Each structure stands twice: as C-alpha cells, then as structure tokens.
Amino acid sequence: NNTVVTSTHTPTNQFALFNPLNPLAYNTGRTLSNGNKTFVDDDAGGIVTTLPLPETGKWKAEFSLAGSTPSPQFGIVDALVDGDFYKNVQYWCTAGANNGTIREGGSTIDSSLTTWTSSDTVTLLIDMDARTAVFKIADVDIGGAGSPYTIADNGRPVFIGVYDASATCTITLNNGDGGFTYTDADYNALNTTNIAAETTRTVSDPYEHWNNFLYTGTGSSNSLTGVGFQPDFAIIKRRDGLATSFYWYDVVRGAGAGNAVYSSANVAEGTYAEYGVMSSFDNDGITVTTGTTDDNGTNNTSSTYVTWLAKLGGAAASNEDGSITSAVSANTTLRMSCGTYTGTGSAATIGHGLGATPGMVLIKDRDVATYDWQVYHSGVGNTASLGLNVTDAKSTDISYWNDTDPTSSVFTVGTSVALNKVSTNYVFYAFAPSEFISIGSYEGNNDSDGTLAPCINSAGIPLLPVFSMIKNIDAAANWVINDAGRQDYNAANRPALFPNDTATEGTTGIDFGLGFKKMREGGTTVNDPNTYIHLTI
C-alpha cells in the first residue's frame, strides 16, 4: 500500500523477545504471536526472553494481561539448565488465584500486596549494578516484604520470564521497542544497543584470538597462511578417509618432532613422525609436513583437515604463583593459557597465568603411556574429574583436584598420579570465562526439540558460538567438537569430531545462535536426560 513501517527492533538492534527455542517441562498449548511478544497458554507453561540480563546496568520490562481466568506470574528466572521451570525461578509477582503475592522460588514471601487485573500495566525494574528488582502496578511500587528484592548470583545467566499456572492466559511483553507506557528514569529497554552502551568490550572479533582453519593436505611441506595472527596453540584433525588421532601442539612445549600429544589416547608425548608433524608456528599460520605412512594425520595428499588455532602469550614465562613453578603462555583477553609443570606427589598449587578463575582445565602426563587426560570443569566440581581421551562418565575422587576450586592465580592438584606423580612432566590447558568464552552446563531432554544451552560471556553478553566442546558427565559418551568453520549455518546436522576418538567426521544435531546452543536431537552425545558440560568460544 506504499506505506513504510519502521521499528526500532532491527537486525542491528535486537530487543528482548520471548524465546520459542527454549523447551520447558510445562509447555502444553503454548503459542507465541505478535513478533514473539505475546505468550498464550491454555495449560501450565512458562518462557524466558531471548536476551539475558547483563552483569551491569538498569533494565525494564512491562506486561499486560488478557483472558477470562488468568493466573500469570512474571519476574526473574535463572538460565534454564533443566526442564523444571520452577527450579530456576528467583522472584515472581503473581495474579489470578494468588493475586497480590510475591514468591521467592516456590515459596510465598508476601501475599498482602496490591492486586492487579487485565486493565493494568505491570512493570519490572531490574538494577543489575545493585542486583535488585522492583515490581510496580500502574506505575506504583507495590513494595512488599524484602523489596527491593535481591537477585542471587547462582553462577548462571539471569532472564526475564513469565509463567501461567493454569487455565487460559495471555501475557504480552512490552520490551520497549515502541516506547514504554510509564517512564522510569535511568532504566532502559533490554536491547543489544543498550547492552553495548552499559558494558565495556576490549576487542570485538574472536578471530583475532581463535581460528577454525580448514586446509587440504599436499603430501609435501605445507605452509598454511591466512590465520590472522601467529598461533601459539594448535589441534589438528584429519576429517576424511582413514581414522587418525587428534594432534595437540603448543608454544610452551614447542612445535616439531617429539612434541605431539594425542587426546584420542593416553600415549606419552612423542614424535609420531610416520603420521606427519606440525613443524612450526609461523607469523600468519603453521607449517605441516608429511608422514611416511598412509595413516597421515597432518598432511596426506588431497585429504581434508581442520586445525583449531589460538593466540596465547608467545614464548613461555616462569610462573611462581603456585607451590610448583610452571612455565606458562597466556592470553588474558581470550582467557586461555597453556603451561607445563613437574609433579611432586604431594597436593600442590600451579600458576595458570589467566588473571581470572578457570572454569575448565585439561591436563596430560607427557612421560608415560599410562595415565588418561584429566579435565576439571566447574560444572563437575572439585571432587570429580573427566578423562578427555575416554568416553567415561565423571569419576569421583578428591585425589584429582584435592577438593579445591581454582582461583584467579592457581589451580590445585591432589596426589593422583595422572596429575601429580613425582618427577613426572605434565602439560595443561586452562580456560576462564571472558569476553569470548562461555563455560557452563545444561540438562538434556532426549528430544528433537532439545535443550537450549545459554552461551553468555563474563559480562553477561550473549555470544554467537564459533567453537563448541560438549561432554555428557553422567553416562559413557563421546566428547563432541562442533565449530562454525566447517559449517557456518544451521542445518539438520552439524559436522562433528570426537576428541577421544580417531573416527572421521560425523554429525550432531545442534544449532548455534546468539547467546545459545540449541540441541536438535536426542541421545547420549548431546541431549540425553543427563547433565552436560560445555566450553564455548
């Protein structure tokens, strides 16, 4: 009709909407409309917004009701790490059968407040600087016991959410894309422009620190360029043809013959020249050579490969933060480091150089073909460990991490020979949440409409994943690596490789989106009804 309609919600400024990708335990009859701003439910169901609340700033949302017997609840919800919506609730303002009630989790903390109906606009004001929340009806603070309500830091992203306890209910979110009904000074609409204004970003491009690099083997010395930085870390895996191992190299131990470790076996550090070698870290890439057998893991003629490359801190420096001196190369922007140390047999601390608390540490004995890789992950805790080269579920034993969490300067190893045998040499790789790294856990649901795993950085900003590593910690299953280098769009299946296995490339059902990974298949690999841990870059 020759009419131009504009909106402040654009591809470059995205406002919080109700997120249709998050499956919940109670979602019968749930529908969304009005550009995913109106939630209709004829049973019992809940939903959260697409954008999490950042760690700083003041944020606002308004709600309105419709329906003959509405029983809405809205407020603050932790990231949905399992299918039980109510386990994740922090505070709810309720109407209907519980009108005038504030709940903390599932418990009523005040039931004598102002009631509200479908003719009212209800406002939620969230101050993330103070970590408090206030509820208003028709622009009047309803107060109540404990108001303003303290938002707990449970180590998970925090969202705005709504829930309908029963009957037919329609709840509409005013996210501010057309302006708010009421004015609240200093409180902003939750959108990507305002989030950027409230947070500080040092570098905006992860590819200045990390690259998923694809190449084809030549059968002769092969100089790979175009990485965008000088790498200090590399994992190489052949994708096609014969099954081959994962080759790990780093600047601390050095490139070249004699310095490869495998994640697909518990073998010692060695040459393995018959399978090919990464011979050098170069100014804009790496150089790989050819092995003497057909089982060529780095540079077989016409075979396809992926290498995951990271910029660390260049040549190793001595680190004396721990009781054991380590040699460390660290990138404190990416928050990834590599280091080596020698075991003592007694519980000890080891400096990691990140300047932030690691959420994941991988360690491999370099000297003997006996001990499995060991993995600390914040989603597993300090009394259990995972083996990177095996499919096993988590193994509980305080001799791994000495029942002690890492700090911003050190991680702790116990008396386990896999981590701290007398006079044995080890290599570690440590990762901490950062501008570019999200480390977390989620609960699978064994459904093609699978779990949504939040990928939020250390400032509370949604990340678009470019690299993902996942492991089921409750059952035997492969570790899984997906990345945006081998496929930069979402389809039925995404190419997958398995760090504990020599298998050629397979697939998993997983989508990457802004602030999340969405599971698109059931099964032990990424989405059984078990707990999974992940590292996302």
Residue pLDDT, tens place only, 415-469 = 999 999 999 999 999 999 999 999 999 989 898 888 889 899 988 888 899 999 9
pLDDT above 60 for 26: no
What are the backbone angles phi and psi of residue 193, rounded to the nearest 5°? -65, -45
pLDDT in tens, 330-384: 999 999 999 999 999 999 999 999 999 999 999 999 998 889 999 999 999 999 9
Highest mean pLDDT among 285-299, 390-404, 449-463: 390-404
Q: What local confidence, expressed as pLDDT, does residue 23 receive?
A: 61
**From its phi and psi, is residue 20 left (phi > 0), alpha (psi between -120 and 50) or beta?**
alpha
* Mean pLDDT (whole number) for 382-399: 96
Dist CA 450 CA 386 (whole Å)? 24
Dist CA 271 CA 60 (whole Å)? 59
* Mean pLDDT (whole number) for 498-513: 95
Is residue 146 within 8 Å of residue 65, measured between CB atoms? no
For CA atoms 417, 339, 281, 306, give the dihedral sign: positive
Dist CA 60 CA 184 (whole Å)? 8
What are the backbone angles phi and psi of residue 206, rounded to the nearest 5°? -60, -25
pLDDT above 80 for 109: yes
* Mean pLDDT (whole number) for 171-197: 93
Q: What is the mean pLDDT of the chain?
A: 89
pLDDT above 50 for 25: no
Is residue 350 within 8 Å of residue 413, measured between CB atoms? yes
SS3 state of residue 370: coil
The span from the first CA to the last CA of the chain, in angstroms, equals 45
With a pLDDT cut of 70, the percent of the chain lying above it is 91
Confidence at 21, pLDDT banded by 50, 70, 90: confident
pLDDT in tens, 304-326: 999 999 999 999 999 999 999 99
3-state helix, strand, coil in the chain (%, to 5): 5, 40, 55
Confidence at 519, pLDDT banded by 50, 70, 90: very high
More confident residue, 43 or 47: 47
Q: What local confidence, expressed as pLDDT, does residue 87 receive?
A: 63
User: Beta strands 58-66 and 188-189: pairing type?
Assistant: parallel
pLDDT above 70 for 80: no
Report DSSP state, residue 461. P
Confidence at 172, pLDDT banded by 50, 70, 90: very high
Tokens of 149: 């309500």
For CA atoms 193, 197, 198, 199, give the dihedral sign: positive
Q: How many residues does the chain have?
A: 537
pLDDT above 90 for 237: yes
Out of 40-49, 234-243, 298-307, pick the least confident: 40-49
pLDDT above 80 for 228: yes
* Mean pLDDT (whole number) for 256-267: 86
Q: What local confidence, expressed as pLDDT, does residue 246 receive?
A: 93
User: Locate tokens 């008396």: which residue?
Assistant: 415
Is residue 372 within 8 Å of residue 419, measured between CB atoms? no
- 92-130 in b/e burial notation, b at 16+ Cβ within 10 A? bbbbbebbbbbbbeeeebbeebbebeeebbbbbbbbbee
pLDDT above 60 for 82: no
Is residue 181 within 8 Å of residue 62, measured between CB atoms? yes
With a pLDDT cut of 90, the percent of the chain lying above it is 59
Dist CA 478 CA 11 (whole Å)? 37
Q: What local confidence, expressed as pLDDT, does residue 461 receive?
A: 85
* Mean pLDDT (whole number) for 258-279: 83
